[in-house]
Amino acid sequence: MYDVVKLLDFGLAKPLANFAEAGITQDGTITGSPLFMSPEQASGDTPADARSDIYALGVVAYYLLSGKPPFMDENPMRVLISHIQRDPPALSDHDSQIPADIEDVVMRCLQKDPEHRFQDTEAMYQALADCAASGLWTREMARNWWECNGCPHKKALDVAVFEASSV
């Protein structure tokens, strides 16, 4: 299978029975990845919810489309402050060939106010499905792209898997 996405956060996954005893919610500490934190997580003003995850997904999409995170600095606190105070540069500033409707979806995910983001993943999915480019990329195109451009280790693994399945 090609073009499969798995979004995982290994930095927060901990096998603990009691988070309070582990000090994870301790005041003055930051838990998470500053490059991907929503403004409400960075500020601690309002509780994070599913819309915080939509923000983080928007950061991932921004990164994939532009090759850069929306905010970058060697100092993690400056990155957090940027998530709270600054608007990210438009995706079209990085690549003018990014379709405007896709840029609109990503930039809506990155709205500072959670009320202005997609309220759930279904709404985001529908917005992506409504984009002009939706459905233009097929599984066959993905397979061809990965076979021509993909990781050599993945190619070797694919060959081994396909050979084993034909036996």
Q: Spell out the residues 6+ positions from residue 51 whose beta carbon is closer than 8 angstroms to its own.
A: 38, 114, 117, 118, 119
Provide the pLDDT for residue 8.
Answer: 65
Six token digits for residue 65: 């489309």
Calculate the average pLDDT of the chain.
84
State the amino acid at position 147 in one-letter form.
E
User: Which has more pLDDT, 125 or 139?
Assistant: 125
Over residues 60-74, the mean pLDDT reads 94
Structurally, at CATH architecture level, domain 34-136 sits in Orthogonal Bundle (1.10)
Answer yes or no: are the C-beta atoms of 45 and 86 closer than 8 Å.
no
Alpha-carbon distance of 9 to 1, in angstroms, equals 22
**Of the ranges 33-47, 65-79, 152-166, which is most confident?**
65-79
Over residues 21-47, the mean pLDDT reads 73
pTM of the shown model: 0.74
The 3-state secondary structure of the chain, one letter per residue: CCCCCCCCCCCCCCCCCCHHHHCCCCCCCCCCCHHHCCHHHHHCCCCCCHHHHHHHHHHHHHHHHHCCCCCCCCCHHHHHHHHHHCCCCCHHHHCCCCCHHHHHHHHHHCCCCHHHCCCCHHHHHHHHHCCCCCCCCCHHHHHHHHHHHCCHHHHHHHHHHHHHHCC
Residue 161 has pLDDT above 50, yes or no: yes
Provide the pLDDT for residue 16.
Answer: 41
Residue 24 has pLDDT above 60, yes or no: no
Q: In the chain, where are the structural domains located?
A: 34-136
Q: Spell out the residues 6+ positions from residue 57 whose beta carbon is closer than 8 angstroms to its own.
A: 7, 109, 124
User: Which has more pLDDT, 100 or 29?
Assistant: 100
For the purposes of burial, counting CB atoms within 10 Å of the CB of 84, is it exposed (0-12), middle (13-18) or buried (19 or more)?
Answer: middle
Provide the pLDDT for residue 154.
Answer: 72
Q: Work out the pLDDT band at 17, boundaries 50, 70, 90.
A: very low
